[in-house]
Amino acid sequence: MAKRRIGILTSGGDCPGLNATIRGVAKGCYNLIGEDKVEIVGIQDGYHGLIHNECRIMKSSDFSGILTQGGTILGTRRTPYKLMQVVEDDKIDKVAEMKATYKQQKLDCLLTLGGNGTHKTANLLSEEGLNVIGLPKTIDNDIWGTDVTFGFHTAVDIGTEVIDRIHTTATSHSRIMVIEIMGNKAGWLTLYSGVAGGADIILIPEIPYDIEKVAKAVEKRANSGKTFSIIAVAEGAMSVEEAKLKKKERNRLRAEAGETTATNRIAKQIQSMTGYETRTVVPGHILRGGSPSAYDRVLATKFGAKAANLIMQEKYGYTVAKIGSEISENKLSDVTMKTKFVPADDKVVLTAKDIGVSFGD
């Protein structure tokens, strides 16, 4: 009997938990199907490797010692979904080449670890007739249909630590500290890091801010004897005025002003409006680097084992999900083209407001 050949790739931005998930898949397949009945094919650098047939047979030893390791042993690269069906100057038909690689490698299924863009391409390949299973990865936690993605909790821990450390500088120098947290479309990471880190003001894309209300929140703290304020800002936060514009117009105006995100502008406006010394902090890629937290190691292992179960059942066209306390799955077609945004009445938002955190609205 021929071995079942399973291809695995990691696509998009790196984040803690990718290796832990790869390990969970491999160990799950070896245990449930049989190590002598499974062959795992590692695909290098995401969909780029699938397009260019950059693959290698993995040994069981390749999956040892990677539970705690950050990044991805398979490498990753961003290959935008919007270009997947576009033949560019290199004359490569990406979809045709991915299907050819799948066939040449004699794969029985393909596992794709990634975020929204990765899932869109996974669904495209599923619709093209390939056996595909998705695994939801992103520090943004914005994949529809799952309560949490692996990588999110680790990033929250790191974001919280950043805010904790900035507190000491803010109090020592009596400054307003504006901390930019990753999250261009969804504010989950900023919201959770802000609440856990004790931010006084939290600004996220889903709740457009009024800069005058932000300044008043700072002044209110100062008038009550608080000599500093911590403002957690999602990189995609926008003002009430910006929210009325289309994305292209908003980006054009920011580019003309030399700004890619709202953080620097907010800091300048607050200092101008209040007179208080204001500084910005941008932890950037630090938020998605390093070893996964204990929570993410457990979640990644659960997700990997679930994917192995789906492979064993030959249940393809799905992506793994955590819904409540259960590890479940969603159809790839149901997940794509949707984004999980922070609702204005989210329990964490309401809790933050109950304790006096301002969202600038």
User: What is the per-residue pLDDT across 164-179, written as a single tens digit (0 to 9) for each?
Assistant: 999 999 999 989 999 9
Class of 154-288 in CATH: alpha beta
Reported for 218-225, long-range contacts at CB under 8 A and 24+ positions apart, including other chains, are 218/176, 218/270, 218/274, 218/276, 219/274, 222/274, 222/276
> How would residue 2 be classed by pLDDT, with cut points 50, 70 and 90?
confident
Tell me the C-alpha distance between 148 and 156, whole Å: 12
User: What is the per-residue pLDDT across 36-51, written as a single tens digit (0 to 9) for each?
Assistant: 999 999 999 999 999 9
Mean pLDDT (whole number) for 182-200: 96
Question: 103 in the Ramachandran plot: left (φ > 0), alpha (ψ -120 to 50) or beta?
Answer: alpha
Answer yes or no: are the C-beta atoms of 41 and 58 closer than 8 Å: yes
User: What is the per-residue pLDDT across 265-295, written as a single tens digit (0 to 9) for each?
Assistant: 999 999 999 999 999 999 999 999 999 999 9
User: What is the per-residue pLDDT across 87-139, written as a single tens digit (0 to 9) for each?
Assistant: 888 899 999 999 999 999 999 999 999 999 999 999 999 999 999 999 999 99
pLDDT at position 330 is 97
Q: Which CATH number fits domain 4-150+292-335: 3.20.20.70, 3.20.20.80, 3.60.21.70, 3.40.50.450?
A: 3.40.50.450
> How would residue 216 be classed by pLDDT, with cut points 50, 70 and 90?
very high
pLDDT at position 7 is 98
pLDDT at position 257 is 80
Q: How many other CB atoms sit within 10 Å of the CB of residue 57?
A: 11
Q: Give the predicted TM-score (pTM) of the model.
A: 0.94
Tell me the C-alpha distance between 209 and 229, whole Å: 17
pLDDT at position 332 is 96
User: What is the per-residue pLDDT across 221-268, written as a single tens digit (0 to 9) for each?
Assistant: 999 999 999 999 999 999 999 999 988 888 888 888 877 778 999 999
Q: Over the chain, what is the mean pLDDT?
A: 94
Burial profile 282-297: b = 16 or more Cβ within 10 angstroms, e = fewer: bbeeebbbbbbbebbb
pLDDT at position 337 is 86
| Residues assigned a catalytic role | 140
Answer yes or no: are the C-beta atoms of 272 and 166 closer than 8 Å: no
H-type helices in 37-180, by residue range?
47-51, 94-104, 116-127, 152-173
> How would residue 1 be classed by pLDDT, with cut points 50, 70 and 90?
low
Mean pLDDT (whole number) for 49-61: 96
User: What is the per-residue pLDDT across 304-335, written as a single tens digit (0 to 9) for each?
Assistant: 999 999 999 999 999 999 999 999 999 999 99
Tell me the C-alpha distance between 349 and 147, whole Å: 16
Specify the domain boundaries for CATH 3.40.50.450 within the chain.
4-150+292-335
Specify the domain boundaries for CATH 3.40.50.460 within the chain.
154-288
Q: Is the pLDDT of residue 70 over 80?
A: yes
